[in-house]
Structure 1
Amino acid sequence: MQERSGSAGNDGFNKVTFARDAVATIDGQLKRTLRLLSDLPPADWERGTACTDWRVRDIAAHLADLALNYARSVALGIRGTPTPFLGLDFPNAEAFRKWRRGQLLELAPSRPRVLVDLIASEWDVANGYFKGLVAKMIAFEALGGNPPKPGEEDSGGGVGPLDALAWHATGNWPAARFIGMALFELAIHDWDIRAPADPDATLNPDVERVLLKFVRQWPTYLVRNESIVGPDGGIRLKLGGAEPDLDLGLRDGQVVAEVPNPSATIATDPTTFLLVGSGRRTPVEAAARRAWRVTGDESEAARIIGIYRGL
């Protein structure tokens, strides 16, 4: 899908509006997550969560280490060429991931108060940087000017468009995608902590709205392998309420969010879709909770959802 900085594309997506909404939603979600962590008794920091084998303190360490890495990668990308491994000396992505895992193991034993304060400070700096990008893009549009291109310096220090490419271990992403992914990480790990004690926990409606826009624009964010072997096809998700339907499918081996003739329909809700899509809940589990109903070709629904499950 061809993207243009600022202006809406054929699908109505506007990166500036999306990023503006995302940074505001990060602010609200950060307050909720910090309150959640601050209110936990010390013993709860050792308990398991809904995120594989991570304890609460492992999630906290992951969040403490994530935000500034995202902001740093975007800053490097805006200067020109995406910088692999954040400019650190690693031969490949797996070596970088191993280093990141080591960082997590080093942070995880920290006292809860230290981790909470670190999350608060690092996310405040990172989201402040993202807000600065959005503010400059809004100013450029209001004045009818063109934003500086990636790599070009301006009086504000070289801030480029929100679709400047920056490095991620899975490939080069536009800056706006990093902002959306930051919100996803914060919100879904908040749910991971709450879910063992509250199986009916949901994401906040404002988070759901922004993340569904994120999926429509970048449907590969729920897929580890963006090139899939298999026939073309797709499904449609009916998300209830005011949310428009969401298409997910395959075309020429690539995941897409536009399916002219879906062969199955899934009636669900935004939180359940995001939980299934990120591998936290299976379709069978969602169906047992009466939150996942398939009509049409059930095997096609299982195939397509099987592609999207996992992050």
Structure 2
Amino acid sequence: MTSNADAAIAALRSGYDHLAPLVAGLDEDGLAGPSGSAEWDVSQVLSHLGSGAEIHLATLEAALAGEPNKGIEFNRGVWARWDAMSRTERATAYVTANEKMLRRYEELDPATRKELRVDLGFLPAPVDVATSAGLRLSEFTFHSWDVRVGTDPAAVLHPEAVPLLLGFTGGMFAWLAKPAALEGREAKVRVELTEPHRVLGLHLADPVVLGDVPEQPDGVLHLPAEAWLRLVVGRLSPEHTPAGVAVEGAADLDLLRRVFKGF
């Protein structure tokens, strides 16, 4: 039986194997081009992913050795080194760093995948491998889309990751949602997802939360699951919205884009 840790690690591998050839084919102009992240070019996204992989590997190794998290000063040193790299150096180093992190995850035996607890440094308590790998999967999946959409405006999130990431969306609302954009308005929206099928209850208020599916919603939002995930991280701009998205009533897509401005 496949565990959540197994599934997250496998999705990290398939997503990386899909992205790596694209990165290898990017020239200087491609690396300097715009990404799906408004403030970063493609090389800066790769720097974020590569430095994140290096920090994540160090965090995993510390947990395996029974040592504490290396802390923010270690992280700052890694970020500074990656910031100082040229664009081509970032692309090359990203491939190496991500492959090393993945292989370490893949080497974990079933007992370790089940029992190990990892101190990520920013959560109140250590987490299991499924959560640790799942959080890295979230970061990787959205930022790999940032890289791919630079050359493919119709890019979608890697499909193997989508079902796994649906369970993370509600927990991300505390820092992703901006209820001030509602200007005091409140609404209960039924969110109907496809691929995979899910029905969610989106409660627009302060705070914005995922809750019970409303029996009499103020609006209905229909969209693919990957588009829903991109919406809540601020990556469903009009030019990147698939044709299958439909709204009814209070499910105002422009308002939702302001509530979920992303990162």
TM-score (norm 1): 0.66
Q: Does 1:121 align with 2:99?
A: no
Letter in 2 for 1:31: D
Secondary structure of 1:205's aligned partner: coil
Task: Output one character per residue of 1:235-290: Cα deviation in whole Å (capped at 9) or x when no partner.
Answer: 33211244222333379x655433242543210112222222111223x5566x53
Structure 2 residue aligned with 1:40: 26
Secondary structure of 2:100's aligned partner: helix
Letter in 2 for 1:136: A
Which stretch of the first structure deviates more once superposed, 223-232 or 17-26? 223-232
How far, CA to CA, are the matches of 1:187 and 1:276 in structure 2?
14
Q: Does 1:66 align with 2:18?
A: no
Secondary structure of 2:120's aligned partner: strand
| Equivalent in 264, 267, 291 of residue 219 of structure 2 | 264
Secondary structure of 1:54's aligned partner: coil
> Residues 210-225 of structure 1: matches in 2 within 5 Å?
210-215=164-169, 219-221=170-172, 223-224=174-175
| Mapped contact 1:22–1:183 kept (Cα < 8 A) | yes
RMSD, aligned CA: 3.8
Structure 2 residue aligned with 1:87: 71
> For residues 240 and 81 of structure 1, do their structure 2 counterparts lie closer, same or farther at Cα, with a shift above 3 Å needed?
same
Letter in 2 for 1:213: G
Number of equivalent positions:
257
Q: Does 1:208 align with 2:173?
A: no
Secondary structure of 2:151's aligned partner: coil
How far, CA to CA, are the matches of 1:28 and 1:47 in structure 2?
25
| Equivalent in 141, 144, 148 of residue 187 of structure 1 | 141
Letter in 1 for 2:133: I
TM superposition shift of 1:25: 1.0
> For residues 74 and 303 of structure 1, do their structure 2 counterparts lie closer, same or farther at Cα, with a shift above 3 Å needed?
farther
Percent pairwise identity: 19
| Equivalent in 8, 12, 15 of residue 29 of structure 1 | 15
How far, CA to CA, are the matches of 1:295 and 1:239 in structure 2?
14
| Runs (5+) with no aligned partner, structure 2 | none
| Mapped contact 1:50–1:192 kept (Cα < 8 A) | yes
TM superposition shift of 1:221: 2.5
Q: Does 1:243 align with 2:197?
A: yes
Structure 1 residue aligned with 2:84: 106
